Amino acid sequence: MDTRTSETRLRIERLRDALVAHHVHAVLVPSSDPHLSEYLPERWQGRQWASGFTGSVGSLVVTRDRAALFADSRYWTQAEAQLAGSGIQLEKMNSGASTIYIEWIAQQLQPGETLAVDGQVLGLALANQLRAGLGRKAVALRTDLDLIQSAWDDRPGLPAAPVYEHLPPQAAVPRADKLARVRAAMAAIGATHHLVSTVDDVAWLLNLRGSDVDCNPVFIAHLLLDAASGQLFVADGKVPADVAARLAADGIRLSPYAQAASALAALPADATLLIDPRRVTLGLRDAAPAGVKLVEQINPSTLLKSRKTPAEAAFVRETMAEDGAAMCEFYAEFEASLARGERWSELDIDTRLTAARKRRPGFVGLSFSTIAGFNANGALPHYHATPESFAQIAGDGLLLIDSGGQYLGGTTDITRVWPIGKVSAAQKRDYTLVLKGTLALSRARFPRGTLSPMLDAIARAPLWAHGLDYGHGTGHGVGYFMNVHEGPQSISKAIPEPSMAMEPGMITSIEPGLYRPGQWGVRIENLVLNVVVDTPENHAFGEMLGFETLTLCPIDTRCIDTSLLSADEIGWLNDYHATVRDRLRSRVDGAALAWLLARTEPLAA
């Protein structure tokens, strides 16, 4: 047994000791924090600390005699490796939104026994599901215990990095205007107060940014608004005095981070509080007095920030050109270096691609940890090379690179697959079928207001026709110098909800994939902007939307089996490459320009 696995076993035993000490029979450790974030500050990475599993999504359940980690198909291979020898069993879920662990817990516990979960990191919607599922078995739920705190002696504290302003011209909408629009939405439903806990909503609404979470320019805070003012609950010392003064001018005063619950408790009895049940924790919800009327709806800011303004869209287009130029410089260097017989590893790709982005104007940081997976590693959708485990780029096969940057004028996310040495006919077939899915959705038109999950099958259809599929969603919303994963839209197998309606200005990824475990993986990803498509029929059948492809980087044609593409598909790809060439050629020179021109040559039918 290696040291890591031994440490995991010891941590699970410490959790079991805490179970006994607090007279409970199981603990649920979700991948969550008090803001229900997808990516977590170290303090709230309790599931990773206890299990050793480093995937971004997953739930750990520990009983007095069993332990199980619940993860979806993106992480099965990774989880099996990281859990080996730990005594924690992997329970496979069909999707990241699954809650099958509730049924599993109900089966493990007896009537009258108790499950503990920290209410400060438990989403209100999930709490309702837990109560319903466990109630049928007469299993009690305790939400006043943080057993991770009991077991984790050297648990990190709150992040201390300073907050800063996102300034004009890239911050194209003033803070006062955003606050006014949210307050108008509050007034329309009769809400006197509104709690905003999701860190990306807080950052967007106040035109502030931070670095409390890797690759996400956000900071840990809650915001409580009323009709004329607001309180920003943030750790002392994080907001510089000049920024605090400008916030105060817009009616926002600072309060200590820990006082959010007490501020809710002090709401007047006649208050009407707007909360988003998917974006607020049970702990904060329960802090409000019993007499306060609750209105449970999606945060107005979540809808507003998903719809980029024309000015923001213009900055995103500029950002995409800078990001595309960085990739041209990197890929030209990469291919020339390989041609000279120099050795590259997956780690080198991350280092040198990041360096190329750093040279571009407006670059702030990565939008997520670079995924560079060669052959079998490319079959792991969320693979990440480490100094302890990585592959050399040598021999024949496919190299998948999924990367992105945070710029003052937008957020990028792109996946490309590149041929290394000789590419087999089977690899070309897989690549082309995935490309057909990307092209099919990129070319789609649909009525305004279409629920985004309804578009998912368009990208899957070319793969389904061959009995193939992939386990992740087809597309996620993307923020504006904000989180690379953003709602409410999701092109996926999710159950559609009204808030997922596609509206002009939304930016979404299109990224179908295909993964052969132990062999190779293919994913081709662009970001697209929802735009109104003007046709004569619009007047009779309502507004139609289409996609403007924002990402600017060649799609490697050497991996394509042209016999599988139609003339229309080849035409779209050639038009895209002509656009990439036109938009990028003035931003690169020398070897990078030569590479761009070579990789954007038209593809013959």
Find the CATH number of the domain harbouring 39. Answer: 3.40.350.10
Q: Is the dihedral of CA 202, 205, 209, 213 positive or negative?
A: positive
Residue 468's contacts (CB-CB under 8 Å, 6 or more residues apart) are 430, 433, 514
Q: What are phi and psi of 157, to 5 degrees?
A: -90, -165
Q: What is the mean pLDDT of residues 232-258?
A: 97
For residues 297 and 323, membership in a common domain is answered with no
Q: What are phi and psi of 389, to 5 degrees?
A: -150, 105
Domain assignment of residue 159, yes or no: no
Which among 176, 300, 305, 194 is positioned nearest to 247, based on CA atoms?
176
What was the pLDDT predicted at 382?
81
Q: Please confirm whether the linkage preceding 488 is cis (ω < 30° from 0).
A: yes
Range of lowest pLDDT (208-212, 316-320, 347-351, 531-535): 531-535
For residues 408 and 519, membership in a common domain is answered with yes
pLDDT in tens, 520-540: 999 999 999 999 997 766 667
Domain assignment of residue 604, yes or no: no
SS3 293: strand
Could you list the residue range(s) of the whole structural domain that residue 247 is in?
164-304
Q: What's the CATH number where 463 sits?
A: 3.90.230.10
What was the pLDDT predicted at 571?
97
What was the pLDDT predicted at 131?
92
For residues 69 and 179, membership in a common domain is answered with no
Residues 197, 202, 208, 211: what is their CA dihedral angle, to the nearest 10 degrees?
Answer: 40
- Alpha carbon 214 to chain centroid distance? 12
CB 131 within 8 A of CB 161: no
Residue 3, pLDDT > 50, answer no
For residues 443 and 417, membership in a common domain is answered with yes
CB 442 within 8 A of CB 534: no
CB 201 within 8 A of CB 305: yes
For residues 129 and 101, membership in a common domain is answered with yes
What was the pLDDT predicted at 541?
79
For residue 63, which amino acid is it?
T
- What helix, strand, coil percent values describe the chain, rounded to 5? 40, 20, 40
What was the pLDDT predicted at 381?
85
For residues 537 and 554, membership in a common domain is answered with yes
What was the pLDDT predicted at 443?
97
What was the pLDDT predicted at 96?
54
Residue 198, pLDDT > 90, answer yes
SS3 413: coil
pLDDT in tens, 256-293: 999 999 999 999 999 999 999 999 999 999 999 988 99
For residues 365 and 332, membership in a common domain is answered with yes
For residue 90, which amino acid is it?
L
pLDDT in tens, 486-496: 999 999 998 99
What was the pLDDT predicted at 57?
86
Domain assignment of residue 156, yes or no: no
Residue with the bigger pLDDT between 324 and 385: it is 324
For residues 81 and 226, membership in a common domain is answered with no
- Band of residue 95 on the pLDDT scale cut at 50, 70, 90: low
Q: What are phi and psi of 88, to 5 degrees?
A: -95, 125
Which of 304, 334, 369 is a domain's end point? 304
pLDDT in tens, 420-466: 999 999 999 999 999 999 999 999 999 999 999 999 999 999 999 99
For residues 34 and 169, membership in a common domain is answered with no
Residue 104, pLDDT > 50, answer yes
b/e per residue 255-275 (b: at least 16 CB within 10 A) = bebeebbebbeebeeebbbbb
- Alpha carbon 412 to chain centroid distance? 12
For residues 273 and 384, membership in a common domain is answered with no
How many domains is the chain partitioned into structurally? 3
Domain assignment of residue 61, yes or no: yes
Domain assignment of residue 157, yes or no: no
pLDDT in tens, 536-569: 666 677 899 999 999 999 999 999 999 999 999 9
Residue 1, pLDDT > 50, answer no
Q: What is the mean pLDDT of residues 102-106?
A: 91
Domain assignment of residue 404, yes or no: yes
What was the pLDDT predicted at 446?
96
Domain assignment of residue 550, yes or no: yes
What was the pLDDT predicted at 78?
85
Strand pairing report for 397-403 and 293-296:
unpaired
Range of lowest pLDDT (94-108, 170-184, 456-470, 495-509): 94-108
Residue 210, pLDDT > 80, answer yes
Which of 130, 151, 172 is a domain's end point? 151
- Band of residue 146 on the pLDDT scale cut at 50, 70, 90: very high
Which of 277, 304, 331 is a domain's end point? 304
Other Cβ atoms closer than 10 A to 500: 21
Between CA 598 and CA 581 the distance in angstroms is 10
Q: What is the mean pLDDT of residues 2-16?
A: 80
% pLDDT > 90, the chain = 86
CB 78 within 8 A of CB 381: no
N residues, the chain:
605
Q: What is the mean pLDDT of residues 108-117?
A: 94
Q: Using N-to-C axis directions, what is the helix angle for 199-206 and 175-188, rounded to 10°?
A: 120
Residue 574's contacts (CB-CB under 8 Å, 6 or more residues apart) are 602, 603
For residues 421 and 360, membership in a common domain is answered with yes
What was the pLDDT predicted at 6?
78
For residues 339 and 474, membership in a common domain is answered with yes
% pLDDT > 70, the chain = 98
pTM of the model: 0.91
Reported as type and span, the H/E element at residue 151 is helix 147-151
Q: How far is CA 518 from CA 63, 92, 277, 304, 376, in A?
A: 33, 18, 40, 42, 4
End-to-end CA distance of the chain: 56
